[in-house]
Structure 1
Amino acid sequence: MERVYLDLKARILSGAYPPGTRLDPAQLARSLSASATPVRDALYRLSGERLIETWHQEGFRQPLLSEADLVDLYGWAGALLALALKGRTPRPELPGGLIELATGERYPDAIASLFRTIAIGSANREMRDAIVNVIERCMTIRAAEVRVDASADEALVAMTEDYRFGRWSALRSKITRFHRRRAAFAGKVAAEIRRRSEPLR
């Protein structure tokens, strides 16, 4: 089951299924070379993580987020990250006091790397888990963000620089502004997502 869960989760996070796509356990079982039972168990687990959703209690689908959904998600992400940075000091056991950032060339990967590294630096396990979850839930919308907001990459670079130099107050402020701007663009992002989605089967 773990292999099926990890394979299916990787597909979902990579955007293999457009928003709104119905996820049929039988079809997925064939493509994953597995029986339907571990596939269905993995789907329920991913639904519990809110990476997919149950649809009218008749099956599973890739979420099709509305503008209001995105505004709430951005607000939650910004609040969690700001809280994780509150009172932050560099961790003395790490070289230079900072966790090295993984290199990500693509905007979705780079922003996930930055936010995940902030999560790792938190001493609160619940906060770490919550931030990682919101990072994963945002993965499929990051590509749409950069298509509708040309300044998204620039904001990411500025936040990354603040992290590298341990400018925590400045980073908190930039993260707050970043998510407010994401919320302001939520309608355009939602429209971009819908434009690229397929009708439910």
Structure 2
Amino acid sequence: MSPGATMERVYLALKARILAGEFTPGTRLDPAQLSRSLAASATPVRDALNRLSGERMVESWHQDGFRQPQLAEGDIADLHGWLGTLLSLALKGPRPRPESPDVLLELAAHDRYPDAVDRLFRTIAIGTANRELQYSIVNAIERSAVFREAEAKIDERAEEALAAMADDYRFGRWSALRSKITRFHRQRVRLAGRVAAHLRPRSQPFRQ
């Protein structure tokens, strides 16, 4: 396998592990240790970590390597505010009606809240012709994945709100969907402190 293909394989595998929440916040991501589980040398692992650092999926510290981000309340609140703004922008202007049965099936196919959030927001991103906006939405979705499970546990109405947004998308109710997306993310911002506390290992002090 070529070096480029190896790095791509390692990048995708490592990203999948991060999105699945395999690494607790603050975990040091050592290329030498990860190379064994990823069946690759440390060099493509380091290259993949640098790429993920550029996407802000991991943190890179000078002379201290890579770490899984440890998100404080402000980090989570800012990310929710940003994602809500991006999704609202994507829904402005003419929108294609989601007539394709495949789209409707995919929106209803996920039982787990994190997967359902991911699918709906990615579907909205795909509907915009602005590629920069698409990329920004997907990046924000992926960076939010680490706290979706905690979010569902803390906000017992989160799944109900998500189902209502999915219904609006299915029936092309764009104005109603924009309003619900705004309310959804405002509620996420209000709960950011509780989500951050849930994610933070008890041994770690509070970080502003």
Taking structure 1 as the reference length, the TM-score comes to 0.92
Which residue does 2:196 correspond to in 1?
190
* Structure-2 residue corresponding to 1:55: 61
> 1:20 offset after TM fit, Å?
1.0
Name the CA distance, whole Å, in 1 between partners of 2:137 and 2:202: 27
Q: Which runs of 5+ in 1 are unaligned?
A: none
Question: 1:78-93, aligned counterparts within 5 Å?
Answer: 78-90=84-96
1:44 matched to 2:45: no
In the superposition, relative to structure 1, how do residues 136 and 101 fare at CA in structure 2: closer, same or farther (>3 Å)?
A: farther
Q: Find out whether 1:29 has 2:6 as its counterpart.
A: no
Query: What is the match of residue 4 of structure 2?
Result: none
Please state how far the C-alpha of 1:87 moved relative to its aligned partner. Answer: 1.6
CA distance in 1, matches of 2:94, 2:45: 41
Q: Kindly provide the CA deviation profile for residues 94-130 of structure 1, in whole angstroms up to 9, marking residues without a partner as x.
A: 6359943522110000000000000000010000010
Partner of 1:167: 173
What is the percent sequence identity of the aligned residues? 66
**Aligned positions, number:** 197
TM-score (norm. length: structure 2): 0.89
Q: Which has the higher contact order (CA 8 A, sep 6+)?
A: 1
Indicate whether 1:100 and 2:104 are aligned: yes
For residues 137 and 155 of structure 1, do their structure 2 counterparts lie closer, same or farther at Cα, with a shift above 3 Å needed?
A: same
8 Å CA contact retained: 1:19, 1:193: yes
Structure 1 runs, 4 residues or longer, greater than 6 Å off: 196-199
Checking the alignment, whether the CA contact within 8 Å between 1:19 and 1:198 is kept in structure 2 is no
